[in-house]
Chain A
């Protein structure tokens, strides 16, 4: 018998992976900055191995939602459940170890370090080493280092970037830096990957390639992806469920088809039709 999981449209979707619980659930999530409510009553459910989209006009609060999910901001209200577990009290680093990884709208790589080291930093936090074996280069250090090296190259090969491993991250072209951010996030072994405008600055053919890669990541790593994107071809092309945010509130949820024909969404994006 096939299993179903809820998607942002609150309908059920055929689950590709085993397991009943959604990877992420938020209930009444909200944050105020002073008197300003930036996000309010944010309800979202993401199934395991689902690709979900978060869209909305500029300033709608999309990145704020990412910051709430990763505890860069602490929510004023509401709860976040990651794999069914409450995340109250966790800080950003703990959230990452619990399974959420993200990329940034403005690239934030460790620019002075090599491509390989950027990926390895992600890997290292999930590796067992002790400081003495590291300093004295005991066999266990070399074993771990070799494993990290192999894993790093393997991850880089997703984007065909293994040849760039020894380059300085900050010297890579823009598109490659964006891809490296995704690789670095994957290195922390997430179960939910948050992508903040992954296609920003990419041309249509690069975007098409990125869409294939996001699908491939989902299939190979069996993880869920939540992405913020302004490129509607990408969002409509790969997302199974979409949430539309405006002024910090969810104005629509649904499948790409439902969102495209939703009058509220069209109004939010294009403005109200003038009475003739």
Chain B
């Protein structure tokens, strides 16, 4: 093992007790538990360890890796893979259950901007308070005050309590403080997606500057384009384990490939049979155009949504409706099965599979799929079956021109429009 590392992670594990993260435990419950345990303690003696193992969730399991000084490392993985837990351990918010992390250098984190902001305090007061919370010394803040203020673009409101700020201004101020931390190791978790587009661009170039300065940066993001453009190396975590460590590009690739191999469970949902309804949706799945299960797609590729359904009687007046919502619940698309041939299908009793091809129209992001089975009669519609937000899928940026220059996506649709630009006169 070489001695030249900024971060060394050895055998690192983090265990959560299931149920331990409930909002709060009542005193009473524990008294009761204590009383019960007292009554039955001889029985418990031998079993204790086994019980614990069953109620345990390993957020991280036996991680081993080193990060070189000056490296910029992107950490990728699906939700719950342990990315945030790892950064929380590095920033000492939570302690590991086993193993250790050896850090060489001061750590600063952008895990959450604006932490400790107080609405009653003025902008300038909050700069000092927030700086101190992030681990800056007062002299450091004094020295950088002008820079921070200029970066935040809220010069005029510095003597105004933050509660009168717009949310955008608050975020800008908070990010400005955090962006002027000068630790040797910087932890960043999805904070670049704040503010308007111009401010995001500024934030990304600030990040690039930080990496050029030779600091070690750890960056967690779902934005693959940002990871590719900002990071040299990459680490891919899955279910708390290290799956791949190497260049940023290949780690992203490994993550995308795994989306087609390991996460079939997520890309398909199967519904229990319900004999009381005459028409039923039995499963919904997302696949790539070759029919292989996947829930992550490039913004440049088409993909399929497959709907299995069955009819318990012949039916000529029923149809399927497919809805795609974004994460905020906005309906982006509503498509009906009879539209493609302009008349209701003549369904006989039996099982069917509908394959809907979704062209590359969605911008990178996460989307929900809902499907409804509806019967249309003269004056009324009957909802036979509905699978609301049954499935989610991710559209990711696989290297667009805008991401190459560090521009984030805006809007919900891909805008690969036909631009015709001519010289006039």
* B is a partner of A: no
